[in-house]
Every structure is written in C-alpha cells, then in structure tokens.
Amino acid sequence: MKFQDYTFCNEIKQNLEELGYKKPTDIQYKAIPSILQGEDVLAIAQTGTGKTAAFVIPIIEILHNRTRKSRQPHIQCVIMEPTRELVIQTARVCNTLAKNTTIKTLGLFGGVEQDPQIAVLTKGVSILVATPGRLFDLISQGYVSLQQLKILVVDEADHMLDLGFIEDIKQLLRHIPRYRQTLFFSATITPQIKDLAYSLVHKPVRIQISPKDPVSKNVDHYVAFIEMDDKRFFLEQFIKEHQENKILIFVRTKVRAERVKAAMARVQIHTETIHGDKPQKERNHIMKEFAAGTIQILIATDISARGIDIPNIDYVINYDMPEDAENYVHRIGRTGRGTKRGSSISFCSESEKELLTHIEEFISKKITVIDIDKQIYKQTILQSIDTNTPLQEILKEIEYIDSKRKKKK
C-alpha cells in the first residue's frame, strides 16, 4: 500500500510526496490505521524504523479535520520527549508534515528563554512537543492549559524512565482529561515499561516490530580489539581513510568527549562534541552544522544518542563500549536509517570484553571481528606518533607499547 492510497487530506499527501515518502514502513503500516480510529496504541519499535512519522502523520490528519473551523487553535496533542534534541527534531517533523494545514506545532524545552515560546503559545498551537521540566513550568505559570487535550504521546518511553521522568509522566495525568487517546512508543520493552504503559493506555492495540532483533537490518556490525590508550591512533587512521564520510563517535563521558576532540585536534582533524554541558544554543548550532555536512565528525555521549536524527550518517564508532547493552542499540540506530545502509564499528579493549558479551547476548548475534595483524597494529601507532610527535615522546610511546606486549605474554 502506498501513502497516496490512504484517505489523508491533500496537504498531507503533498507533503509526503515532497519528502519522498512512497510507502509506509512496518511500524507506520501497523500503527496509522489504529491511531486514525482513535485507539490507544502501545508500540515497541527499534530505532530508525520511522516511528516518529508513524504517530505524527495520523495525528495531523485527525487534528486538521477537527480544527478547520476553529479561529483560535488550542492544545489538542502533547508529545512528551526525554531530551531537548528530540523535542526539536520531532517538532520539525510535525511542522514539515503539517505544512499548509491548520496545524501549528511548538517545541518546548528548557535551557533557553521562555518568552519567545510564550509568544507562540499566545497565538495558539495545536501540538506541543515538550520535555517535562519546561512544560510544567509553563503550566504552573498559567501559560499552558491542557484541558482540551485529545491525544497524549509518550515517546522514547524507555529513555524517559532511564532519566527518571516516570513521576513527571504521572504528574502530567493530573493536568489532562481522563478520556483521551494515548500513544506509547518505546524502542525496548521491560517489566517496568509494561507497568508504565498499562497505567496510561486503555485496551491498547499492541504493536511490536522485530522483537527478536532490536537492531536495524540496515546496519553492518564490526568490532576491533584495541587497547584503551591506543584507540586514538586507530580513530585518527579511520577518519583519514574516510574523509568523505559522515562519522558519529560515541564516548562514555563529557570529559572523555573533550579529550578525544583534543586528541584529534593535535593531528589536525576537526571534530565537534555534543553533551549536556554545552549551552542549548551551541548544541542546536552543532546539530544544524552536522546535518548540513559542514561538520563531518561529531563526538557524542549516550545522553545524546536518541537526540541525533541526522540523515546519511555513514559510520557510528563506539570509541568506548556502552555500559548498557540497550545503549548499543540506540547508538548504532543513528546510522542505517530508513532505506540507507550504515556501519557500526566498536573499539573494544581487554577491560571491555565483558560489555561486548552482554551486547551480543542482547542483540542475539555475534558481531563480526576485524582482525588486526600485530605488525599492522604497531605500525598504526608508530605512523601517528612519527608524524605528530617529537622524538623523545616517540621513544616513550615505543617503550610503553613494548612493555604492554611483554605483560600480555
């Protein structure tokens, strides 16, 4: 079935055509009819499957039909997101798919001045995409009323729980009508997720996509065994060999992100970082530049994994192995999105091999090992040292490498 065969309004069909959306993905095909019929939906779908459009398209269709005769639009839908980046991206999807309709969308998040957001609210919006903090701030100040809410969407529910937003979600229920349509989307399912979902939805249609394989089929997985102190040399080599590609690198901490950026700067490789310590304005700018291709290499922490929905990321590099196997799924879901293919390469040190085992158990498959010949391993390090480091430091590095080899033996 093609999108043009659905009974959407002409504006939505035109917008879908302009975006190049021909046929629905699995999650879209299964979710859209139920949402259009007003049913509650509990959807478990891996990242990169098109689940944002799966709820945005029918919501716009429903609200557009309701608000055609309304002079002043009021908030009829709230989409809860765990991060600012996800708010921005989901709001962008809403506005793009709602072009030339009666539906106006506003993204609400903290870290920026609230006055411009209030100015948009006073003109009237139909959809709010929000993080809990700023939403509750504006509710308490009287700028947001949810009394006429018709649809509640909890997106990335598992990440909402990880960030401790479960009480915020429960608090939201006090501000919205009891009788409403609720859409609950999550990339993973756990007992805690189930409990939260069934406290919100009523006789939901349950949709689960690829339950046995939580990762996108469009991603090729590789792992290379590289010691922690040597990773920077192999990252340098990889980047230099893939200068035309868009690369997203994941590290464990904010400090680590800045250290890797500094290490790459020392070898004349320009990168940018995105993490919680950066001001929102700077994060927005970096994301925009990365999307445009002005920035080719971005270093991110796990907190940003689900907030990065950038097209045509060729490679995801796990510079640090994720401590949580689920985060591996979210990281590599940044590539191989839609119909595009992508690759994930993990740098795994001896101390991280247990994490690799947990990941392979979680995704129910072995990750292909890139065998690195011992001589090539040593040459990779020495090449980088030779071209960028004074002689005294070269000798120290050689001694260090040799001492590590002797210890292993």
Residue 353: the pLDDT is: 95
When mean pLDDT is compared across 78-87, 224-233, 350-359, the lowest value belongs to 78-87
Query: Is 79 within a domain?
Result: yes
Q: Is residue 107 part of a domain?
A: yes
Residue 302 lies in a domain: yes
What are the tens digits of pLDDT across the range 39-74? 999 998 876 678 899 999 999 999 988 766 555 678
The two beta strands, 77-80 and 41-44, are unpaired
Integer Cα distance of 404 and 409 in angstroms: 9
Instruction: Pinpoint the alpha helices (H) of 112-246.
Output: 115-123, 132-140, 157-162, 166-172, 191-200, 231-241
Confidence at residue 211, expressed as pLDDT on a 0 to 100 scale: 47
Q: For position 152, what pLDDT does the model report?
A: 96
For residues 60 and 90, membership in a common domain is answered with: yes
* 204 shares its domain with 226: no
CA-angle at 158, arms to 155 and 163, nearest 5°: 100
| Residue 183 bridge partners (DSSP) | 41, 153
Domain that holds residue 253: 219-372
In a domain, 381, yes or no: no
Q: 153-205: per-residue pLDDT in tens?
A: 999 888 888 777 888 888 888 889 989 999 999 877 788 888 888 888 889 99
Strand order in the sheet with 181-186: 105-108, 127-130, 77-80, 151-154, 181-186, 41-44, 205-208
Residue 147 lies in a domain: yes
404 within some domain:
no
For the stretch 304-316, what's the b/e string if a residue is b when 16 or more beta carbons lie within 10 angstroms of its beta carbon? bbbbbbbeebbbb
Same domain flag for 305 and 270:
yes
pLDDT of residue 310: 77
Confidence at 119, pLDDT banded by 50, 70, 90: very high
CATH number at residue 231: 3.40.50.300
Looking at residue 153, what is its pLDDT? 96
Residue 385 lies in a domain: no
Number of domains in the chain: 2
SS3 82: coil
Q: What share of the chain is helix, strand, coil (3-state, %, to 5)?
A: 50, 15, 35
Residues 251, 201, single domain; the answer is: no
